Structure 1
């Protein structure tokens, strides 16, 4: 009887040690995942919203859009500081791009997507020209209002 009790006690200790070891390894895995799960991007809203006229000669057409940039910030990249530093140049580039659009391009979802992609590429080009790195992961339209 005593041998059985000792055997059960030893098994209990072995199971206790194994479970503590697995919990410890699980915590290391979680902390490694937590370090890797740091946000790789930050959202930066370009305020105030853009209001431009577009379409060339004839009746004036207006576009009002709010734009947010997804800025790469992971890996020690100082993306937000670079975007803030060049914000006037970025806004100028976007105003010029938006004002060059045509009515046909603004009237369809495909046209708006092309405008978004052009704007993203233009912002990336500004940062590559000024800093040598693009820093921008994506460009998002928060609102997009067209008056014809």
Structure 2
């Protein structure tokens, strides 16, 4: 889904503090926001689906 990809690219691009992303709390907040945005896209597109969580299999932070 192009809109879903767009929302996630925008979310990741909005992250300005790399320090917060190196903590478990910061990563959890990012996962929660990603879940919220994904579910919003799914709701807007009337898919009848939702997700319960986001799993990062790799996490790289560049400064």
> What TM bracket, shorter-length normalisation?
0.7 to 0.9
Say which one has the larger Rg: 1
- 2:7 aligns to what? 93
Q: Report the 3-state secondary structure (helix = DSSP H, G, I; strand = E; otherwise coil) of the residue aligned with 2:48.
A: coil
- Counterpart pick for 2:36 among 115, 121, 129: 121
Counterparts of 2:58 and 2:33, CA distance in 1: 17
Aligned length: 62
Alignment of 1:68-79 (within 5 A): none
Q: Which structure is higher in strand share? A: 1
The alignment's TM-score, normalised by the length of structure 2, stands at 0.84
Structure 2: runs of 5 or more not aligned: none
Note the alpha carbon deviations across 1:31-87, whole angstroms, 9 max, x for none: xxxxxxxxxxxxxxxxxxxxxxxxxxxxxxxxxxxxxxxxxxxxxxxxxxxxxxxx2
The runs of 4+ residues in structure 1 deviating greater than 6 Å are: none
- 1:145 aligns to what? 60
Contact 2:31 / 2:53 at 8 angstroms: preserved in 1?
A: no
Note the alpha carbon deviations across 1:91-137, whole angstroms, 9 max, x for none: 10000011101223212110011001100110000000111634323
The alignment's TM-score, normalised by the length of structure 1, stands at 0.39
